[in-house]
Amino acid sequence: MEGIAVGYGDIHFVSGNPGKISEAESIMKENNIKVKYMKLDLPEYQGEPNFISEAKCKCAASIVKGPVITEDTSLAFDALHGLPGPYVKWFLDKLGPDGLYKLLFAFEDKSASAICTLAFSEGPEQTVHLFHGITRGKIVLPKGNKGFGWDSCFLPEGKDKTYAELTFEEKNTISHRRKALLLLKDYLSQRNRS
């Protein structure tokens, strides 16, 4: 069966993170989106999340010379006015999930948003389209050994298990990444019908 993205030729999903690729691949297959995966470490831009996502996508499109999807993930703590946000990778590298939890020790408010920003461009010098998936939750003492990154300290709203305690399939039904991918799928479906 042909994927909905076929009208664009090969769309490359560019990421240097195998965990993100694995999740995206599962969700995209389930929704009949055909893409090729390309492991590519892009520059680490600084700025607001939308700026970072757009810059990464433009860079990837200039390297691939064709349609690309890039992804940037933020973990925004309400008590810290959105930090660590798009810099969570670096906070996690230095502090680990336990340190992320300890960042909020002095705050009563432990609420947070897991945010996936997908960026799609048809190629170099083309418009970048952004798709945001958000899952609300709170930061808790790390629990669980599934998943990757900060999954063990993020408890999604309405769940009694962290991302890292959920099965791969359970996480994929509620994740911020899934929400963004479904928005992208809808956009590609509409473009292909035009």
The answer to the question of whether 44 is labelled as a binding residue is yes
The answer to the question of whether 151 is labelled as a binding residue is yes
HEC assignment per residue over 26-88: HHHHHCCCCCEEEECCCCCCCCCHHHHHHHHHHHHHHHHCCCEEEEEEEEEEHHHCCCEECCH
The answer to the question of whether 178 is labelled as a binding residue is no
The answer to the question of whether 168 is labelled as a binding residue is no
Kindly list the structural domains of the chain, giving each domain's residue range(s) and its CATH number in brackets, ordered by start. Answer: 12-192 (3.90.950.10)
194 residues of the chain, pLDDT tens digit each: 244 444 456 788 888 777 777 777 777 776 666 778 888 888 889 999 999 999 999 999 999 999 999 999 999 999 999 999 999 999 999 999 999 999 999 999 999 999 999 999 999 999 999 999 999 999 999 999 887 889 999 999 999 999 999 998 898 889 999 899 889 988 887 876 65
The answer to the question of whether 91 is labelled as a binding residue is no
The answer to the question of whether 30 is labelled as a binding residue is no
The answer to the question of whether 73 is labelled as a binding residue is yes
The answer to the question of whether 132 is labelled as a binding residue is no
The answer to the question of whether 171 is labelled as a binding residue is yes
